[in-house]
Amino acid sequence: MLRRLLCLLLPFVIALVFLPDLASAATTPAAANTGVGPVRVIPEPSSVHTLPDQNYTLTPFTRIIVPAHSPDATASADYLAGILRPSTGYRLPVTSGLALPGDIRFDLTGPTSLGAEGYRLSVTPLGVSISAQASAGLFYGVQTLRQLFPPLIDSSSVHGGPWRAPGVLISDTPRFAWRGAMLDVARYFFTVSQVETYINLLSMYKINVLHLHLSDNEGWRLYINGWSRLATYGGSTNVDGGPGGYYTQADYTDIVNYAQAHHIMIVPEIDTPGHVTAAQASYADLNCDDIAPPLLAPGYSSLCISDPTTYEFLDAVVGQLAALTPGPYIDMGGDEALNTSAADYRTFVDRMQQIVAAHGKKLIGWHQIEAGDLNSDDMVQYWGLSGSAPDIALAQQAVARGNKIVMSPADRTYLDMAYNSSTIGQTWIGNPGYLSVGDAYDWDPATYVPGVGESDIAGVEAPEWTEDLGTVRLLQYMEFPRLPGYAEIGWSPQSTHNWDDYRVRLAAQAPRWDALGVNYYHAPDVPWPASTN
């Protein structure tokens, strides 16, 4: 009896002990890594109401409370505990029951206006509450809460507290449903665990689509039953001629499941009818002249549009991919088919449209596929440069047909572009052809292409092509600090878009990346804190 009473009273005692400390914390500068800081979150939430001097402190007695019998809430609660336990060393049990002062409480009773991804977060001295309509909302509430704690919360080793978060009331819903990143695993192969590391980082910023570019001239990266040489031979090298690799179907499923647990949809791309040398090198039958080119042959490639074998191959690939992929989209690529005639290209897109539909999926591809006869629920990804008339015409045609557009203009979103003359990266987007952090952030997808407005757009996606990027360190150097900008363009209301404010919030991410071991470029247009790596 006495023990129960003590247990009940304990949180109140803790609150009393910590409260005076909290009040003074608000007025002292955030000198240590564990000090309480201002609310600096990326992507900027749609509504933020700060509660000055109302800080919350995580303690060894904090519990994470979930509704009973709610696997959805428990998954996000376990995920939060998985972030907080290693750095704090606290137990942080996930349990159901009545929340006591100091606890972090999850519930799924948020208003319907929050939709599938929105959440409400309240942080006060009495506790934290994350409320949503659906599990994704709780997960995004966790990502926001994580950024309110000091950066060392993301460390994998124990640090001393206090672990404080500034008092705040946040209500937050996304601007666009599609907030994506693309990774080219064809030019260089990246392992399942390397892709999962990227998923961890994407989910920190509420990105919800990972488009995997699974095949290209230089490599085929998914094992296809009945067509084993695609992977075993077509996947055997990287663009530099060194050893490549491929995903077994079990590997691919691991990526899909890991992504799903992070509320990320995998969109698999098999690039056709061009960018197919690796497939044609693996099977002579896939060439009009039945002669297999060498792997890594130079020049543009094309599948043989009039050959039935082409469609047997594609039916096997799309069928197996569709069975392995829970998301509704199969991406057929469709870019730079410079060795395919315009008439053949149209024929081919129509055939792909039918194959993908026959396997119960929707088609997506680079905006050139708009030349074919798409269904209105197919999607196109715009990668044109600003002012490029033929690309703009295709985008306008897409809008007229009702096809939604994913915005990936190369001169704003390509993560493989050089930041400036002193970094690695491609420069073909112009003269001089650089993509600074500011330019990557400071544009509006709803006004970028004439005739393509907010309601025509599914969202934004940042592609990372890997002709020059063979290691995770190099990938991260190109992603950070540009990637969070795409997350913000995709999530936050346009009314909050402000480079001068954003660059300060971006700079505040650096100690987090240090804690996580992320490599990033100290771009000159961001006011980095002095203490960063």
| Minimum distance from residue 500 beta carbon to ligand TNX (Å) | 30
Is residue 325 at the binding interface for ligand TNX, with CB under 6 A as the rule?
A: no
Give which of 411, 413, 406, 418 is closest to 386, Cα–Cα: 411
Nearer Cβ to ligand TNX, position 321 or 435? Answer: 435
Residue 319 host element (H or E): helix 308-324
**Residues composing the chain:** 533
Task: Tally Cβ neighbours within 10 Å of residue 400.
Answer: 11
Number of chain positions touching ligand TNX (CB under 6 A): 9
Q: Are strands 119-124 and 64-65 parallel, antiparallel or unpaired?
A: unpaired
| Minimum distance from residue 182 beta carbon to ligand TNX (Å) | 9
| Minimum distance from residue 272 beta carbon to ligand TNX (Å) | 12
Distances (CA, A) of 349 to 135, 305, 336, 369, 417: 37, 10, 13, 6, 29
d(CA 453, CA 126): 44
Task: Give the one residue of 149, 465, 480, 513 binding ligand TNX; rule: CB under 6 A.
Answer: 465
Q: Are strands 209-213 and 265-272 parallel, antiparallel or unpaired?
A: parallel
Coil, strand or helix: which one is 143?
helix
Query: Among residue numbers 290 through 319, which ones bind ligand TNX (CB under 6 A)?
Result: none
**Secondary structure E strands in 264-327:** 265-272
Is residue 528 at the binding interface for ligand TNX, with CB under 6 A as the rule?
A: no
Is residue 227 at the binding interface for ligand TNX, with CB under 6 A as the rule?
A: no
Nearer Cβ to ligand TNX, position 12 or 428? Answer: 428
| Minimum distance from residue 225 beta carbon to ligand TNX (Å) | 27
Nearer Cβ to ligand TNX, position 11 or 463? Answer: 463
d(CA 363, CA 329): 6
Nearer Cβ to ligand TNX, position 78 or 467? Answer: 467
Is residue 74 at the binding interface for ligand TNX, with CB under 6 A as the rule?
A: no
| Catalytic choice (117, 336, 461, 464) | 336
d(CA 487, CA 484): 5
Is residue 426 at the binding interface for ligand TNX, with CB under 6 A as the rule?
A: yes
Is residue 53 at the binding interface for ligand TNX, with CB under 6 A as the rule?
A: no
Is residue 416 at the binding interface for ligand TNX, with CB under 6 A as the rule?
A: yes
| Minimum distance from residue 416 beta carbon to ligand TNX (Å) | 5
Coil, strand or helix: which one is 90?
coil
Is residue 492 at the binding interface for ligand TNX, with CB under 6 A as the rule?
A: no
Nearer Cβ to ligand TNX, position 370 or 416? Answer: 416
The yes-or-no answer on residue 312 being catalytic is: no
DSSP string for residues in 456-523: GEEEEEEEE--TT--SHHHHHHHHTTTHHHHHHHHHS-GGG--HHHHHHHHHTTHHHHHHHT------
For the chain, the 3-state helix, strand and coil shares in percent, each to the nearest 5, are: 40, 15, 45
Is residue 190 at the binding interface for ligand TNX, with CB under 6 A as the rule?
A: no
Nearer Cβ to ligand TNX, position 155 or 215? Answer: 215
Is residue 340 at the binding interface for ligand TNX, with CB under 6 A as the rule?
A: no
Query: Among residue numbers 234 through 293, which ones bind ligand TNX (CB under 6 A)?
Result: none
| Minimum distance from residue 383 beta carbon to ligand TNX (Å) | 5
Contact in structure between 46 and 173 (CB atoms under 8 Å): yes
Nearer Cβ to ligand TNX, position 139 or 383? Answer: 383
Is residue 336 at the binding interface for ligand TNX, with CB under 6 A as the rule?
A: yes
| Minimum distance from residue 429 beta carbon to ligand TNX (Å) | 8
User: Which residues face 213 on adjacent strands?
Assistant: 184, 269
Task: Give the one residue of 106, 329, 414, 448 binding ligand TNX; rule: CB under 6 A.
Answer: 414
| Minimum distance from residue 139 beta carbon to ligand TNX (Å) | 30
Is residue 411 at the binding interface for ligand TNX, with CB under 6 A as the rule?
A: no
Binding characters for ligand TNX, 358-397, by CB under 6 A (x = yes): --------x----------------x--------------
Task: Give the one residue of 315, 335, 442, 525 binding ligand TNX; rule: CB under 6 A.
Answer: 335
Residue 215 host element (H or E): strand 215-216
Task: Tally Cβ neighbours within 10 Å of residue 98.
Answer: 8
- Rounding to the nearest 10 degrees, give the CA dihedral for residues 157, 158, 159, 160: 180
d(CA 80, CA 363): 35
Nearer Cβ to ligand TNX, position 173 or 217? Answer: 217
- Enter the DSSP assignment of 384: P
d(CA 388, CA 151): 42
Task: Give the one residue of 107, 442, 467, 525 binding ligand TNX; rule: CB under 6 A.
Answer: 467
| Minimum distance from residue 414 beta carbon to ligand TNX (Å) | 6
Give pairs for 148-151: CB < 8 Å, separation 24+.
Answer: 148/39, 148/41, 148/123, 149/58, 149/84, 150/30, 150/32, 150/33, 150/34, 150/35, 150/36, 150/37, 151/33, 151/508, 151/511, 151/512, 151/514, 151/515
Nearer Cβ to ligand TNX, position 57 or 217? Answer: 217
> Which of the residues are catalytic?
336
Give the binding site for ligand TNX (CB under 6 A). Answer: 335-336, 366, 383, 414, 416, 426, 465, 467
